[in-house]
């Protein structure tokens, strides 16, 4: 058999234009179902299209398919089923490859059939690959859901992306679930400058304060995610996002299984971790139908808080799929309810590492802060403690997708979705800081001038204004909430038309989003202490309330032209028109926004009116994209892509970088006349390779080398106006200039036989500010400085071993030094995190398909380092701690 295999692999097999360069996981690589839409066309092109749509390597002998036509196929199926349909009547057949993917060959090739049988026999022992590289004119990389669960069962799928080149993800939670301090950078762009979708449904701009979406871990149970993909430079033109300056992150849920069954997994671990996941699959029923229902419960104690504090909640998913010869229908539903206590950052540099919270010990909280008449220093210094802080979120998300084939070369996809979010950020904070007292005093005792110094209410040796003290409950604490409501729904429609050597795609997306955000204050008394897990009622006062109505219209047109069998060109454009009307039914009092200004004796400022409101459009009618893909050898490809994108104005108010965050109507009108949305031009080019080898123990290598350049224009920032006035009141949003980014990513996988592999990726990035800027009377000399919080060098690796039912992985993530301030005056030390996982799957157990035991260790070396950062503007920054070493065990059974 070896005598036949070697020449076939070397001289006949060709990595086609639909291939994945870094092979997807071998275990189950061809068993997951996905939506496939392929028009009638030459067989070679159809196999390439199948590779693109499924993310699978499709390897075939080009001379044997050169004159064959493939039938049109449409529906939800496995890659193996789709390939067999395309090859029907061709005299060809398909078999799985070692390491994943499919190989096409003559049906009569008996020696190859013997090899294929050997391949199938060895698949259970073949090594799982870490990253799959999609075959596109741009850089697209994916991580399978199985790999995500190997690294950390139940983790946020965003956290798994930290394995990819050019990505930096940090969080204070071992699962990556804490949204307040979650941070991701992709090629120099941060959370709210990326696009996010789930099965094509827009998830919004990734903001912690919800205004147009939700986080991926709230949109789907982690175990139900089948694949997470990153377009790190530029997303597809049809991506439903108006924030994808720096690329697109796509999450794909698993389809129902074709065989009825059930799965249950239970995770235990340190800090009272108890996570349950259960799923029931109906299998096929009726006429091409299948469905599943899944449930998850997460419960754990935050590692830096006391035993009474809990994090997690409940989540339910359901998915239904119908497919027939011409039509595929998918329906999905998600509900989740959770509360996540927030971790306070530390003003660094500092010898401290983590801050906890007093909750539920109110006596301790009161005893550790000065009493009403105390002469001790006010606790306004950095790094004091909250009583509690938490994020509460409830979401409902649903969609229906209908895809219909009208003709062999014409398919129409339609998707209707709806999302509702109800959430609150809750903080029980000390009232003994000047900033908090100024807010409270403005509403509770606006005439208390004897407590005002330099434009702010103050805590001093004379104590706190008794009206403020009594109204807030007499404990020294008050509870502040930011409460959210978001109703949004939309429709996406796309036509796919194939003619000759052209695949033409034209589509549109409309969304209506109604959202509101309000800031409310509540008393905290010894008899009504409140909790971080419930939103309080009956506020003392409403500081402000924003209401937004947004209509989004996006259209796109793209042509993919196969110039030769080895050269593909793409060209297209999209149009984005986003119209947002924002108003403040309740505007903040000017006094409550005051800053300390020497000489100010009063908070009254009759010239300032904090009632901005009106409609501002974010419009770019022509955002072009061009790409090329050249398969210049059977194993190597060159790709290049150029694309322009726009980030629409954030649909949010005070405290954000948004036109509606300004504090005077005049400033709003000025921005409406002259303001521009953020835009970017992305240029990327690279080479991919995938080689089977016979070089001693090395049996295969796959990899990608990419260079990218990004020009980022009209960077928006919240600043104080240059001529603010004596009151210290007022803020505006200004164009702070441009940013230029250059970088390179190298990633590769080395395979040593069927059981052992090494994956590594190294990244370099230089992201530089192009301008200085003024904040009030202060000049920030940022021109030529590096964008803070982004490491110039980073490296990630995974060492994997599989043998029979046993598997083990050692993974690592290194970040070099990061600038901690805008002017790079302080650098953050590098960090290295290691993780370990191992497991064993038992087969052939009576009444059970399989039983798996899994063991995980996060932060293997118990490293103490900063995870997420909030950059500073002087000589300090805010750093969030890395969670300590933790141990977890999971038992999973499939029936």
Lowest-pLDDT range of 303-307, 415-419, 843-847: 843-847
* Final residue belonging to a domain, choices 129, 157, 187: 129
Per-range mean pLDDT, top range of 12-26, 446-460, 472-486:
472-486
Domain contains 822: yes
Give the DSSP H or E segment for 335.
Answer: strand 327-341
CB 16 within 8 A of CB 51: yes
Q: How many other β-carbons are positioned within 10 Å of the β-carbon of residue 741?
A: 21
Domain contains 860: yes
Q: Which residues pair with 794 in a beta bridge?
A: 763, 815
Residue 609: pLDDT band by 50, 70, 90 thresholds? low
Domain contains 215: no
Per-residue pLDDT, 134: 66
Predicted confidence (pLDDT) per residue in 36-75, tens digit? 778 777 788 788 778 777 767 787 776 677 667 788 787 6
Instruction: Give the CB-side neighbour count of residue 84, counting CA atoms within 13 A.
Output: 8
Domain contains 299: yes
Per-residue pLDDT, 465: 84
Cα 865 → chain centroid: 23
Per-residue pLDDT, 559: 95
Closest C-alpha to 619, from 668, 707, 666, 555: 555
User: Tokens standing for 518?
Assistant: 């309000």
Task: Provide the Cα torsion 668, 434, 388, 206; round to 10°.
Answer: 20
* Final residue belonging to a domain, choices 71, 94, 129: 129
Lowest-pLDDT range of 3-12, 367-376, 448-457, 771-780: 3-12
Q: Which residue has the higher pLDDT, 161 or 368?
A: 161
Q: Which residues pair with 641 in a beta bridge?
A: 627, 684
**DSSP one-letter code for 124:** G
CA distance linking residue 526 with residue 440, whole number of Å: 19
Domain contains 785: yes
Per-residue pLDDT, 242: 94
The CATH number covering residue 423 comes to 2.40.170.20
Domains identified in the chain, total number: 2
Range of the domain at 50: 2-129
Residue 754: pLDDT band by 50, 70, 90 thresholds? confident
Give the DSSP H or E segment for 672.
Answer: helix 665-674
pTM of the model: 0.86
CA distance linking residue 401 with residue 75, whole number of Å: 12
Lowest-pLDDT range of 58-72, 113-127, 215-229, 725-739: 113-127
Q: How many other β-carbons are positioned within 10 Å of the β-carbon of residue 89?
A: 9
CA distance linking residue 706 with residue 728, whole number of Å: 48
Domain contains 228: no
What sign does the CA torsion over 118, 119, 121, 126 have?
A: positive
* DSSP string for residues in 50-68: HHHHHT--EEE-HHHHTT-
Give the DSSP H or E segment for 694.
Answer: strand 678-695
Predicted confidence (pLDDT) per residue in 315-353, tens digit? 999 999 999 989 999 999 999 999 999 998 888 888 888
Q: How many helices (H) and strands (E) does the chain have?
A: 12, 49
Q: Which residue has the higher pLDDT, 612 or 772?
A: 772
Domain contains 246: no
Q: Is the confidence at residue 149, as pLDDT, over 50?
A: yes
Predicted confidence (pLDDT) per residue in 434-443, tens digit? 788 888 988 9
Q: What's the mean per-residue pLDDT of the chain?
A: 85
Residues 268 and 122 in one domain: no
The CATH number covering residue 86 comes to 3.55.50.30
Domain contains 495: yes
CB 719 within 8 A of CB 780: no
Q: Is the confidence at residue 175, as pLDDT, over 80?
A: yes
Per-residue pLDDT, 605: 53
CB 612 within 8 A of CB 584: yes
* Final residue belonging to a domain, choices 103, 129, 155: 129
Predicted confidence (pLDDT) per residue in 809-842, tens digit? 999 999 999 999 999 999 999 999 999 999 999 9
H/E/C letters for each residue in 235-260?
CCCCCCCCCCCCCEEEEEECCCCCCC
Residues 268 and 125 in one domain: no
Residue 520: pLDDT band by 50, 70, 90 thresholds? very high
């Amino acid at each position: 058999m070896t005598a036949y295999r070697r020449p076939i692999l070397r001289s006949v097999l060709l990595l086609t234009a639909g291939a994945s360069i870094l092979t997807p996981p071998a275990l189950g690589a061809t068993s997951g179902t996905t939506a496939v839409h392929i028009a009638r066309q030459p067989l070679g092109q159809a196999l390439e299209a199948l590779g693109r749509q499924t993310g699978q390597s499709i390897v075939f002998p080009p001379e044997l398919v050169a004159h064959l036509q493939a039938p049109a196929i449409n529906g939800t199926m496995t890659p193996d089923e789709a390939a067999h349909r395309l090859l029907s009547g061709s005299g060809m057949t398909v078999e799985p490859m070692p390491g994943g993917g499919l190989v096409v060959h003559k049906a009569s090739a008996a020696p190859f059939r013997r090899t294929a049988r050997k391949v199938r026999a060895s698949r259970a022992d073949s090594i799982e690959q870490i990253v799959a590289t999609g075959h596109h004119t741009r850089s697209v990389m994916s991580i399978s859901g199985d790999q995500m669960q190997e690294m950390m069962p139940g983790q946020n799928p965003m956290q798994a992306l930290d394995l990819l080149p050019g990505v930096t993800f940090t969080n204070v939670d071992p699962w990556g679930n804490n949204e307040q301090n979650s941070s991701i950078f992709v090629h120099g762009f941060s959370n709210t400058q990326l696009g996010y979708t789930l099965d094509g449904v827009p998830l919004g701009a990734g903001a912690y304060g919800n205004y147009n979406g939700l986080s991926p871990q709230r949109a789907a149970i982690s175990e139900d995610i089948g694949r997470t993909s990153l377009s790190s430079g530029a997303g597809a033109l049809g991506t439903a996002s108006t924030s994808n300056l720096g690329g697109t992150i796509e999450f794909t849920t698993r389809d129902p299984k074709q065989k009825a069954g059930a799965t249950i997994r239970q995770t235990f671990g340190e800090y009272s971790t108890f996570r349950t996941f259960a799923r029931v699959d109906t299998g096929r029923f009726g006429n091409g139908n299948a469905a599943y229902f899944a449930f998850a419960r997460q419960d754990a104690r935050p590692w830096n808080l006391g035993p009474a504090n809990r994090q997690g909640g409940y989540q339910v998913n359901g998915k239904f799929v119908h497919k027939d010869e011409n039509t595929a229908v998918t329906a999905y539903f998600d509900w989740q309810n959770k509360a996540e206590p927030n971790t306070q950052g530390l003003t660094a540099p500092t010898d401290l590492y983590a801050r906890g919270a007093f909750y539920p010990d109110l006596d301790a909280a009161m005893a550790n802060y000065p009493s009403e008449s105390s002469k001790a220093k006010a606790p306004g210094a950095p790094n004091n403690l909250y009583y509690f802080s938490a994020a509460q979120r409830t979401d409902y998300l649903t969609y229906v997708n209908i895809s219909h084939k009208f003709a062999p070369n014409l398919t129409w996809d339609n998707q209707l979705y709806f999302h509702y979010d109800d959430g609150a950020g809750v903080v029980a904070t000390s009232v003994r800081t000047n900033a908090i007292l100024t807010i409270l005093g403005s509403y509770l005792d606006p005439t208390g001038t004897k407590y005002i110094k330099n434009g702010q209410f103050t805590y001093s040796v004379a104590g706190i204004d008794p009206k403020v003290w009594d109204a807030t409950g007499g404990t020294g604490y008050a509870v502040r909430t930011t409460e959210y409501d978001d109703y949004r729904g939309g429709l996406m429609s796309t036509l796919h038309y194939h003619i000759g050597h052209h695949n033409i795609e034209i589509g549109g997306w409309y969304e209506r989003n109604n959202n509101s955000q309000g800031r409310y204050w509540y008393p905290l008394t010894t008899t009504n202490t409140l909790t971080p897990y419930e939103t309080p009622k009956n506020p003392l006062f409403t500081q402000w309330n924003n209401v937004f109505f947004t209509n989004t219209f996006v259209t796109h047109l793209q042509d993919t032209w196969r110039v030769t069998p080895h050269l593909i060109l793409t060209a297209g454009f999209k149009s984005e028109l986003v119209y947002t009307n924002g108003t403040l039914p309740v505007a903040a009092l000017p006094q409550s926004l005051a800053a300390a200004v020497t000489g100010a004796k009063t908070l009254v400022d009759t010239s300032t009116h904090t009632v901005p409101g009106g409609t501002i459009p974010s419009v770019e009618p022509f955002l072009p994209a061009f790409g090329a893909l050249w398969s210049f050898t059977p194993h190597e490809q060159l790709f290049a892509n150029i694309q322009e994108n726009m980030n629409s104005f954030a649909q949010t108010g005070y405290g954000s970088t948004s036109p509606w965050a300004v504090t005077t109507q005049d400033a709003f009108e000025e921005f409406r006349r002259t303001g521009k949305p953020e835009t970017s031009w992305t240029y990327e080019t690279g080479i991919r390779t995938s080689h089977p080898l016979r070089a001693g123990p090395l049996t295969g290598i796959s990899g990608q080398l990419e260079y990218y350049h990004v020009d980022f224009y009209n960077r928006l920032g919240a600043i104080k106006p240059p001529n603010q006035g004596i009151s210290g009141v007022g803020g505006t949003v200004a164009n702070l200039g441009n940013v230029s980014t250059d970088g390179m990513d190298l990633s590769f996988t080395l395979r040593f036989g069927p059981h052992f592999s090494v994956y590594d990726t190294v990244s370099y990035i230089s992201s530089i500010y192009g301008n200085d800027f003024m904040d009030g009377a202060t000049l920030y000399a940022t021109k030529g400085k590096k964008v803070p919080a982004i490491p110039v060098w980073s490296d990630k690796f995974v060492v994997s071993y599989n043998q029979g039912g046993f598997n083990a992985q050692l993974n690592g993530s290194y970040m070099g030094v990061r600038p901690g301030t805008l002017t790079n005056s302080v650098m953050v030390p590098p960090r290295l995190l290691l993780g370990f996982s191992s497991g064993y799957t038992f087969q052939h157990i009576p009444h059970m398909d399989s039983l798996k035991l899994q063991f995980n260790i996060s932060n293997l070396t118990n490293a103490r380092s900063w995870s997420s950062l909030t950059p500073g503007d002087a000589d300090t920054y805010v750093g969030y701690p890395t969670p300590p070493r933790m141990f977890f065990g999971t038992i999973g059974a499939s029936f």
